[in-house]
Copies of this chain bind each other. A is one copy, B any other.
Amino acid sequence: MDTPAGHDGSSLTAAAHAERQPASAGAPRVVVAGATGFAGALAADLLWRHPGFELVAVTGRSEVGRRLCDVYPRYRVPLALAELDVPSLAGIDAAIVAYPHGAAAPTVGAFRDLGARVIDLSADFRLGSLATYEKWYGTHPRPDLLDQAVYGLTELHRERIAAATIVANPGCYPTAALLGLSPLARAGLIADVVIDAKQGISGAGRTYDDTTHLSAAGENILPYKVAAHRHTPEIEEQLARLGADLRVQFQAHLVPLDQGELASCYVTPTRAVAQAELDELFAAAYAQEPFVEVASVPPGTRDVMATNLCRVFAASDSHTGKLVLLAAIDNLWKGTSSQAIQNLNLMFGQPEAAGLS
């Protein structure tokens, strides 16, 4: 055996700036806080290439001084990572906060104090119920801000997101599950549901351990957090708002790929639902959605890799009477960072698909 030196990324002689589409003059100025993680880094890359925003800073404690394009060679962002110093960022228009749960809220608050609009990628502002939050995550650092936050699943809350000062970007599992289930929830058709979700290893984040090492994650299918997943209340709260007040059975699994997520949802309906009715329901729900496609064959996650798309498939099982909903996304894109950009577009009056195709 032999330990390779760390892969320190690439200092490029070619000017990475050259690849950037110039942001138009007067474009909103955006900061990504926590750009060393997978989610923040992708958000920064998307903003860097975005014609309608100016990425003015990226922060991240663990790699201060290194350029983002050296930490993540496949992203072309030549900005150097800085320690977060919120006051020095006065004048920015927006911030994307990619911090861990609990750590995010104070930073969100600091940006709000500057007057910036914020998209928070953590769970800190996703739950309407403070009690539920504190059950899963401990004391909330900024409960005073909960009222400002809008849940950022674009397809469910487009108008409110456009006007929000804080957008709580959804978890990737809730994103897929809710895009699969919301048409049924709105129609009052869900009596019971089991959600079996599978995700690539990027979903574990830039965490180095026995779940992410290729020699452990490769050739493996690994269920985790059985009967105790923190995404359950987020899904239940959103379904309840749509009229489906029930407890959901949710189970997550890691499978050996990088980016990709499939939520397989098994619904016991409140009444018999024929395939034709199901087809109509989904066609109607998503006919106008630019980033949700109703597929006629079961969707593979590869089909939506590195896109903001969600592909959903709905089947009525005549043998059991149950409904099977399959929703495929890229967990890092629509599940996290590109959905954040989709929301940012809405918040600043840009075309919803700007910078995402």
* A7: chain B residues within 8 A (beta carbon): 210-211, 216, 222, 224, 297-298, 300
Question: A12-B295, A13-B294, A320-B248 in contact; A220/B260 too (CB < 8 A)?
Answer: yes
Chain B: CB-nearest residue to A39 = B1
| Most-contacted residue by chain B among A4, A172, A311 (CB, 10 A) | A4
Contact A4 B74 (CB under 8 A): no
* A11: chain B residues within 8 A (beta carbon): 295-297
Question: A201-B213, A215-B202, A320-B247 in contact; A225/B302 too (CB < 8 A)?
Answer: no
* A209: chain B residues within 8 A (beta carbon): 6, 208
Copies assembled: 4
Among B4, B74, B289, the residue within 8 A (CB) of A303 is B74
Answer whether residue A226 sits at the interface, using C-beta atoms and an 8 A cutoff: yes
Among B14, B49, B252, B266, the residue within 8 A (CB) of A294 is B14
Answer whether residue A83 sits at the interface, using C-beta atoms and an 8 A cutoff: no
Answer whether residue A173 sits at the interface, using C-beta atoms and an 8 A cutoff: yes
Among B4, B171, B210, B230, the residue within 8 A (CB) of A6 is B210
Answer whether residue A52 sits at the interface, using C-beta atoms and an 8 A cutoff: no
Contact A253 B302 (CB under 8 A): no
CA of A243 to CA of B88, assembled, Å: 56
CA of A78 to CA of B252, assembled, Å: 29
Among B214, B300, B319, the residue within 8 A (CB) of A221 is B300
| Most-contacted residue by chain B among A172, A209, A313 (CB, 10 A) | A209
Q: List 27 A-B contacts (CB under 8 A).
A: A1-B38, A1-B205, A2-B172, A2-B230, A2-B231, A4-B211, A7-B222, A9-B297, A10-B299, A12-B296, A13-B293, A38-B215, A73-B302, A74-B304, A194-B266, A198-B253, A200-B215, A206-B213, A213-B214, A218-B256, A219-B257, A219-B302, A224-B298, A226-B326, A247-B319, A251-B324, A255-B257
Question: Which 6 interchain pairs have the tightest Cβ spacing?
Answer: A208-B208, A196-B196, A220-B302, A73-B303, A227-B317, A4-B224
